Structure formats: structure tokens, C-alpha cells
Structure 1
Amino acid sequence: MDGGLSVFVGNTIIMDPECYKLWLDGFTYWEAANKRFQRFTEAKGTIKIEVIKSDTVDNYRMFMAMEKHLRNPTLLEHQAQLQIPTNLRRIYIEQYYELDPVFARQILGKKLSSRNRKDLDDISESTNIKLRSCRRQYDNFKRVFKTVEDMQGPIVKNIQKNFLISEPLARKYAAIVFFANNRFETSKKKLQYLTFDDFCYCADRMIDNWTIGSNDPRTEDLDADFDRQFLQELRELKFLANDKDASDQHKSLMFNSLKGQQSPGITINVENNFKNLSRAIISIAVDMIHSKDLKDFFIDVVEKITEPCKQAHWSSEQMSQFLKLYTSCSARVEGFQRCQVAADQSQNLSQGCKDEHSTVLLIYYWT
């Protein structure tokens, strides 16, 4: 018999990392085989396309067999059908749940429904992301949301525990769950300059400081829900805008703090814009108790704070300085501690102002 046949038998799965990436990116096995063939020939010279095609088909079959376990990673950890080394299991899971920030930005804030899944063709075309990849990512978003929405406790830890992904990736999914749960408006034209990572930052701050679990560590509620008591307490801040004496004192305290600073421009800006800006900041905080106003939080920040300051030619440094002083000086206004909010709750209000400050500054900076 001419020639020989080499056979290797084993039960440990060996997957080609490049092929796995092509599969995750939504390429068909034929498209993936052609890409691999081109790279092999450029790097190693002559090789038959049939060999590459056969290897690609084998890999794709393996991926599809493993996918049902990837959809429930805790099962992949304990099943015996697919023998995968522990370190590689975690890598495969992480890569399967990795998300494309461009695609995620398109989905952010939308209801994760079957109806919206039908619109993925348009998103695929506009983002130049393969439809298969869009569907996989969307199904991942929906699966994570459905798994943790009724769970108690910290959302990031719940995601990590159930899907065995890293904390940074879990925080991205937490942002998606948080935005879907609260239905924030993110699709308006004025918000298109904000990236998925920008919104992730904002969600992270809100989850850590404005949700039920953040303000009362004893609670077992999911921290994708805003603390309604905290939002109600924010309404106490309205006296800073409605009470003339309080508003004048607030403004005076800011002017005194600005004396001797090397940037006279901000003093002029505060003089000309304090009243309108203060009303805008307070109105956004006060109205967050209402679901519709909470939904429009980001567009309100842009229209009521960012755009007026841009028109007044504020720099990002001036904006930061103004917001820091606005927060610190408000606590010194006579009557602030006499609000209906108890003294130990005032710290929460101050934290609320600080986090609105960081959110506003980020939105302002990237305009």
C-alpha cells in the first residue's frame, strides 16, 4: 500500500483560536476557510484549500457542539462530554461573551425583545458587523438580562457567578441590564457622540451610588433598580433653586471660593450663568423621581447643561471647577442641614451631586 495514514485519538478538545474568532465574528465556514487559506499561503507557502476547508469544518462542528454549554457556562464547567482544560474553558467563555462596543451602543437602552431582534439586519448593515455575530451578542444580552433581572444582590457579582466572566466584562453587561431595566433614552441625535464605554462609566457610577443596594447594603434587592427613597430625598434640594436667599448665598459662597484664582473667565461665567445652571442641575435631580424624566436623564443633561455651557464657551476645566464648587458650597448654604432629610442622609445627597457632576463632566468633555 502506497503512502501512509497517521491517526491520533484523544478526548481533549483542541480548538484553533483564529478559527474560533472567525466563528464568533459570524463568518460562514467557507468564508473562514478562505481567510485562513489566504493567511496560510502568505505565511507558509503552498497548502491545499481542501485541507484548510476540512480543518475549518471540524472546528466549526466543535464550536456548535460546545455552544449549548457556552450559553450556560456553569454547565460547561461540570459536563464530561467535552474535555476542555480549565484555563481554556474560561478563555472560551470570556471570548463568547465578549461584546462589540459599536453593536452594544446600538442596543443600549432598548427593550431586549424578540421584536427588536428582528431589526438586527439593519444594525448589521449600518455597523458592518456580521448578522450572525449580531444575533449571538443580542442573545447573550437577553440571556444575561433574563437570568439576573429577578435575582437579589449585586448585579455585577450575579453576572460573574452565573456566566463565569471577568469583572470588567461583567460590568459592561451590568450597564446593558441597567439601561434596559430603566429604559434610558440613548438614541437621540444629540447623544450619538457618546460611546458605549461612556454610558458604561455613567451606569457604573449610578449602580454604585444611586441604587437600592448601594445606599442600604443590608437590602437584598437587585441594584439595577434606583433607590426610590433616595430619589425622593433629592427633591429636598429644590430649595437651592426656589429660595432666593439660599440661591444668593450659594452664589456668594462660590464667588468667595473663586477669589484669587488664576482663571478669571470662570468668575464671569458664573456671574452670567449661575441662576440658569443651578435651576437646570436642581431640576434634573428633583425630577428623577418621575419615570419619564428619569428616562430622559441624559438628553436633559445635554440640553439643559452641556449645550448652554458650550454656547458660553466654557472649557472642560471650567466646567469641572464649577461643578466641584457648586457641590461643596451647597452644603454650606444656611438651611441645607434643616431639610427634611436627616443629617445622615445628607451624605447621600452630596454623593448624588458628585456623581451627577462626574456624569455631566464626562458628557460635557466629549461634546
Structure 2
Amino acid sequence: MAVELDVFVGNTTIMDEEVYQLWLDGYTVNDAVKVRMEGGVLEECETSADVLLSDTMDQYRTFQMCERLLHSPAKLANQLLFQIPPHRQAILIERYYAFDDAFVREVLGKKLSKGTKKDLDDISAKTTVTLKSCRRQFDNFKRVLKVVEELKGPLVENIRQHFLLSDKLARDYAAIVFFANNRFETGKRKLQYLTFQDFAFCAGQLINNWTVGAVDNMVEDMDVDLDKEFLQELKELKILITDKDLLDQHKSQLKSSTSVLIYLLFPFTSNLSRGLVNIAAKLTNTKDVRDFFIDLVEKFIEPCRSDRWTAADMRLYLTHYTNSAHILDTFKHQVVWDRYMGVIKSCIFKMYHD
């Protein structure tokens, strides 16, 4: 019996971006076929369900064979098995390392260990991200962490160069690495309103200002470990609330502010001042570093919300509060103060929302 076949031979690997996304999202072949059919691909391509199934299976096999190369993206450009144009390679890599905000929010700050990986079943159920996708994302986090922890130099740049990611995605991975290394608490109920992007922004502020690399770009772990010498110096800021003369001067400067708000609410803002200074003084302790975001919420954000401050009120207060210390003649820690309050202000501005 004669059989006619139409055969096409080429050297460029054809990859459907929609199918690739379905594969990344953890869909089975049959589920992916169903999604494609519901999208009207049969009518669009004038083909049959059997051909669609065959095409989907073929592309899934290609993605699975490419996956080992995606673990080390630089190898993708140098291999000869798959002829993939550079722009297509960039898409494959970026999407492979992309992650769901709902998933990363659940693991942010946790140790990227086997113990956490055992919880992926529960995280998958909670976030509705498929288990297969959760595992891919978790393994990507671990892979990036393992590579960059052995490298010198800026964290974001190392991630971008070794994994060929966009600047935005590299910065997000830097935040994940930074949180995993310092084990910041992010899971408490009062922190649930904060998104991953809120935390990622704050991580960027901490990396750029409070790490060893903020003052010395030639040291190891420059963007991962907080500057211990700086954390020790923060204890000196306690003089702002323990030295009576300095405290009175600070009060006087705030009261002389043109802001009616600050003058009227001064008893309340005195409590805020003590809270911010006490946070600084305790950052030499590992547990207090981990509770940094909880402390910001409990000692500043929640009191301001309770007193019905708007974001503009809070911004005005922090601006005047920071600047007023510059006029204190006997305050000898201006550099430390500015380095501390610069980050505190930026983080609170980002975190002060519903």
C-alpha cells in the first residue's frame, strides 16, 4: 500500500512560544493540547487533533532536551545540537528563569534547602502554581545562589553575566539571594500585605547601602553580607534618645519646623523616633536583623496607620526628622545617621501602603 509523506528538512529549531510557556507552567502534553484547541489553533492552522498532539509532544521533547543547557545558559550559544537564533535563545532563557510572584512570596527569606523543598506540595496548593513549575522555580533559585555565592564582585552583575538575564530579572534574583542569605522574616501575618516587589525594592536599598560592597567593591560576598562594622556603629545613634541635651535639641529643631503637623503631633512622633533609633541599635543581633521588616511595621508603619497618617504626612515627618539631626552641634555621627536613615526612609516609603 503506497503512503505519501510530506517531509520538510531544515536546520533551525522551531519552538512555539505558547507551547513553551505551557511546558514551563507544568502542563502535561494532553492538557497543553486541550489549551491549544480551546485557543482555536485547529481552525487557525486547518489541522487535526492528531497532528496537534504530535506537534505538542515533539516540542515538549525538544524543551526537555534543551533544559540541561538552560541550567547553564552560556552553553546554549555554543552548542551545535540545536540551531536557535540569538534572540530566540534570550527568550528561552528569560522565560525559563522567570517566576511567579505568588510562589516566590511564599519562599522568600527561607533557607533554600531540602526541608523547604518538601513544602512545595503545600505551596503549590496554596498558590495554584503547578508542582512541576514550583520545583523548576525553586531549583532555579538554588542554582543561582550556588553559583553567585562563590563569586567576587557585584551580585546583580554576576547574575546577569552568568545567567544572561535581563537587568530587571537579575535584580529580582539578587533580592532572592540576599533574603535567603540573611533569612529575613517575611511570613508573619502583619507582613502579608507586602508584595515580592516591595521586598525586592528594599533588598536593593540594603544591598546598595548597608552591605560591605557599598563601601568596598573589592571584597568577597560584597553584596550578600551586611557590613558588620556599620551595624556596630549604629549603636552610637542611641545617643539621640539617651542624651538629654541632645534629645532636647532634636525636639527643638523639630518643633521649629514649618510643619504644623509635626508640631502638633510631637508626643506621638517622639515614640516613632525611639522606635527607629532602637531598631538601629539592635541590628548587631542576628535575630533582630531577621526581624527588621517586622520592626519597621510594628514600630513605625502600624502606629502611623493607627493615627491615620497619609503617605504624604509620613513622608513629610521622615524628611524633617532626618534633616533635623544635621543641625545638632554635638551629634558626631552624621555619616552613620544618613547611611541608616536613607535606607529606612526608602523602605518605609515603599512599605507604607494598603
Classify the TM-score, shorter chain: over 0.9
Give, in angstroms, the shift of residue 11 of structure 1: 2.5
SS class of match (1:352) = helix
CA distance in 1, matches of 2:2, 2:39: 31
Which residue number corresponds to residue 77 of structure 1? 77
Per-residue CA deviations over 1:176-202 (Å, capped at 9, x if unaligned) read 000000000000000000000000000
Residue identity matched to 2:340? G
SS in 1 for 2:81: coil
For the pair 1:275 / 2:270, whether they are aligned, the reply is: yes
1:349 partnered with 2:344: no
Partner of residue 90, structure 1: 90
Give the superposition deviation at 1:220.
4.0
Moved over 6 A (4+): none
Question: 2:310 aligns to what?
Answer: 315
**Per the alignment, in what secondary structure is the counterpart of residue 238 of structure 1?**
helix
Any idea what SS the aligned residue of 1:314 has?
coil
State the alpha-carbon separation in 2 of the partners of residues 195 and 228 from structure 1.
Answer: 28
TM-score of the pair, normalised by structure 1 = 0.93
Aligned to 2:160: 160
Matching residue of 2:209: 209
In 2: Cα distance, 1:299 partner to 1:357 partner: 15
CA deviations on 1:105-163 (whole Å, 9 max, x unpaired) are 01100000012111111111111111111110000001111111122111101111111
- Return closer, same or farther for 1:26/1:356 CA change in 2, 3 Å cut-off: same
In structure 2, distance between residues paired with 1:77 and 1:92: 12
Contact map agreement 1:149 1:222 (CA 8 A) in 2 = no
Q: Could you tell me how far apart the structure 1 residues matched to 2:95 and 2:240 are?
A: 49
User: Structure 2 vs 1, CA of residues 241 and 14 (structure 1 numbering), >3 Å: closer, same or farther?
Assistant: same
SS in 2 for 1:175: helix
Superposition RMSD in Å? 1.6
Aligned match of 1:366: 353
Shift of 1:42: 7.4
Q: Are residues 81 and 243 of structure 1, via their aligned partners in 2, closer, same or farther at CA, if it must alter by over 3 Å? A: same
Note the C-alpha offset of 1:243. Answer: 0.9
Per-residue CA deviation, residues 252-275 of structure 1 (Å, 9 max, x unaligned), is 1112122xx4xx334312x22132
- Over residues 197-229 of structure 1, what are the superposed CA-to-partner deviations in whole Å (9 max), with x where a residue is unaligned? 000000011001110001223434331110111
State how 1:218-233 maps to structure 2 within 5 Å: 218-233=218-233
**3-state SS of 2:152 partner:** coil
The equivalent of 1:8 in structure 2 is 8
Question: What is the CA-CA distance between 1:171 and the residue it aligns to?
Answer: 0.4
- Give the corresponding residue for 2:261: 265
Change in 2 beyond 3 A, CA 1:9/1:47: closer
Percent of pairs with identical residues:
47
- Asked whether the 8 Å contact 1:151–1:222 carries over to 2, the reply is no
Distance apart, 1:46 and its partner CA: 5.7
Q: Contact 2:30–2:53 at 8 Å: present in 1 too?
A: yes
Q: Structure 1 156/349 Cα, relative in aligned 2: closer, same or farther at 3 Å?
A: same
How many residues get paired?
354
